[in-house]
Amino acid sequence: MRKAAWLLVIMFVFSAAAPVSADVAPPAYPPGFNPEPGSEQTQVRMEAETVRINILQKTRGDELGVAAVSALFTMKNLGAAAESMAVRFPAGTGDGWFGVATIEGISVKVDGKAVDVRKISGEDPNGFEDAVPWVEFDVVFPAGKDVMIEVAYTLEATGEYPYAWFEYIFSTGAGWKGTIGSADLIVSFPYEVDEIFLLPCIDSNYGCTSPGGVFAGNTITWQFRDFEPEMADNFVISMAAPSLWSQVMEEKARVSAEPNNGEAWGRLGKHYKSLIFSPHGRRGFRSWLYLADPGVETLFQLSDEAYTKAITLLPNDAQWHAGYADLLGYFAEYAGYEGVATLPLKIKALEEMRLALELAPEDEVVNNIALDLSWLMSEGIVETDNGYDFPWLTQTPVATATEINPIISTPTPEAQVVSTSTSAPVIFASPTSVPVVVTAKPEEESGGKVKTPLCGGALLIPFVMMAGVKLWQTRGNKRSR
């Protein structure tokens, strides 16, 4: 029953929408009219745009992230007569939860001169609300001449910790004459860019980083040429929250300067671990599918190495042993859903958990992690009146070879060895493997059937939970290793 309850708990998935930043747009058309290529009512074309999103290292209060945005638009009237119009710019979008996400501090210049902006209401670019805030400003477009429009504002990220989302909407520029000639979008980060800090797009474009960027130092650049933007072209970047990214960099610098600092190694392992799993109470990997996201394996290796350093330097610290067990147990459970051979990692997780309980049987953090693992691996760790039993560690395992068809199957490359602190190397199937032979205890698999992952797009439907949700949230809030 407890296992079934836990499976229900992990199905409760939340989602969030990012705040808006977007192209300037021509005046609103009558309700219901959506201009398409060749049907625009203006002769003004957006010849070029350059957008810079500078993500700041520091945030304000409890914000996930803040960026300073500047956008330069080169507009040209292709007609024979001058056009005067109130150009519009969206200042908010519906967030999908009956609210509106807005941007702050909008300032506008036309040909280098500041102009006044007026607040108005307009259609929601995301289509969630009937009306959202916009601003408008007056511009004269002489025939055959370029007009430069500069827009600057502050953009606050949304998303779910540990990941922050920033969005830029191209589709509002579709109302101008013809196509957009060129668009360059440059995102600057507080540190040199490492792809493991970015969420890739796997099976959807929701809450992930738009593909196609060119990496250079601390920037990524996206370029578009001669395109008519649609909603599918709107830009999103999903990255590790700047505050967490900063902590990783700080701990990396600390362990480099103080290689015998066990606490610093433990904190680094914990930070890497937090980036591996989904923000929805860690119910699955960050992009749901382990085999399709190489960053997950890299983060696991880095976290495993850091935790191993911590427990080697601090062998009697129960909490770091428990934190390491937490990493191994969750990773093994979810990777196992995809046919990866993870039994050795599960055994190692139980060994670390048992040692942590022996070192500090009354420690609240240790016991919270033990309780989590007893729900996660109910056959291997069992809660009793006197603490916990570990059947897999106290019984002679009778292993069976079970053929499992992975969720993803493409041409087969060679398998690779992932280094962990287990007594023997753990062989992981590479992201493109075909049927994997998994050695598992009879208790792990029932009738040779593969476990189905309870996460991903099919489960983005909220379930009403009862006592299990409260218990899960309480334990999650107390976890510190």
Per-residue pLDDT tens digits for 133-178: 888 999 999 999 999 999 999 998 888 899 999 988 888 888 899 9
- By CB atoms closer than 10 A (0-12, 13-18, 19+), residue 221 is middle
Q: ∠ at Cα 159 (156, 164), nearest 5°? A: 65
Dihedral sign from CA coordinates of 209, 210, 215, 221: negative
Residue 92 DSSP SS3: strand
Give the number of other CB atoms < 10 A from CB of residue 385.
4
Q: How far apart are CA 472 and CA 465, in angstroms?
A: 11
Given a cut of 80, whether residue 241 has pLDDT beyond it is yes
Q: Which residue has the higher pLDDT, 5 or 254?
A: 254
pLDDT at res. 373: 97
CATH code 1.25.40.10 region(s) in the chain: 258-478
Tell me the C-alpha to C-alpha distance, in Å, between residue 59 and each of 68, 154, 241.
12, 12, 10
pLDDT at res. 169: 87
Q: What is the mean pLDDT of the chain?
A: 79
Least confident of 168-172, 242-246, 348-352: 168-172
Q: How far apart are CA 288 and CA 271, in angstroms?
A: 19
CATH architecture type of domain 258-478:
Alpha Horseshoe (1.25)
Residues 6+ apart with CB under 8 A from 39: none
Q: Give pLDDT tens digits for 430-474.
A: 333 333 333 333 333 233 333 333 333 333 333 333 334 334 444
What one-letter code names the amino acid at 128? F
Q: Could you write out the DSSP letters of every residue in 352-371?
A: HHHHHHHH-TT-HHHHHHHH
pLDDT at res. 19: 52
Q: Where are the beta strands (DSSP E) in 284-404?
A: 382-384, 387-389, 400-404
Quickly count helices (H) and strands (E) in the chain. 9, 22
Residue 302 DSSP SS3: helix
Q: How far apart are CA 98 and CA 338, in angstroms?
A: 36
Q: How far apart are CA 153 and CA 408, in angstroms?
A: 42
Fold for 44-239, please state it: Immunoglobulin-like (2.60.40)
Short-list 97, 167, 99, 90, CA closest to 125 = 90
Q: Which residue has the higher pLDDT, 428 or 295?
A: 295
pLDDT at res. 26: 72
Q: How far apart are CA 331 and CA 317, in angstroms?
A: 22
pLDDT at res. 39: 52
Given a cut of 90, whether residue 294 has pLDDT beyond it is yes
**291 within 8 A of 340, measured Cβ to Cβ:** yes
Tokens describing residue 312? 């080697």
**Tokens 């799993």, located at residue:** 277
Percent share of the chain, pLDDT over 70 = 75
pLDDT at res. 443: 36
Q: Which residue has the higher pLDDT, 234 or 7?
A: 234
pLDDT at res. 20: 57
Q: Provide mean pLDDT across the span 70-75.
A: 95
Given a cut of 60, whether residue 70 has pLDDT beyond it is yes
Least confident of 240-254, 294-308, 442-456: 442-456
Q: At what angle do helices 2-9 and 364-376 cross, to 10 degrees?
A: 100
Percent share of the chain, pLDDT over 90 = 55
**153 within 8 A of 69, measured Cβ to Cβ:** yes
Q: How far apart are CA 185 and CA 341, in angstroms?
A: 42
Rg (CA), the chain: 26
pLDDT at res. 29: 52
Tokens describing residue 210? 């738009």
pLDDT at res. 429: 33
Q: Provide mean pLDDT across the span 293-311.
A: 97
Given a cut of 70, whether residue 182 has pLDDT beyond it is yes
pLDDT at res. 40: 62
What confidence category does residue 480 fall into, taking pLDDT thresholds of 50, 70 and 90? low
pLDDT at res. 123: 84
Q: Could you write out the DSSP letters of every residue in 139-153?
A: EEE-BT-EEEEEEEE
pLDDT at res. 457: 38
pLDDT at res. 262: 98
Q: Which residue has the higher pLDDT, 211 or 440?
A: 211
Given a cut of 80, whether residue 24 has pLDDT beyond it is no
Q: How far apart are CA 481 and CA 472, in angstroms?
A: 16
Which helix (H) or strand (E) segment is 227 a member of? strand 219-227
Given a cut of 50, whether residue 116 has pLDDT beyond it is yes
Q: Provide mean pLDDT across the span 103-113.
A: 94
Q: Which residue has the higher pLDDT, 408 or 362?
A: 362
Q: How far apart are CA 345 and CA 428, in angstroms?
A: 11
CATH code 2.60.40.3680 region(s) in the chain: 44-239
Q: Provide mean pLDDT across the span 196-205.
A: 88
Given a cut of 90, whether residue 60 has pLDDT beyond it is no
Given a cut of 90, whether residue 382 has pLDDT beyond it is yes
pLDDT at res. 396: 55
Residues 6+ apart with CB under 8 A from 244: 161, 162, 271, 274, 275
Left, alpha or beta for 257 (phi > 0: left; psi -120 to 50: alpha)? Answer: alpha
Q: Provide mean pLDDT across the span 92-96.
A: 77
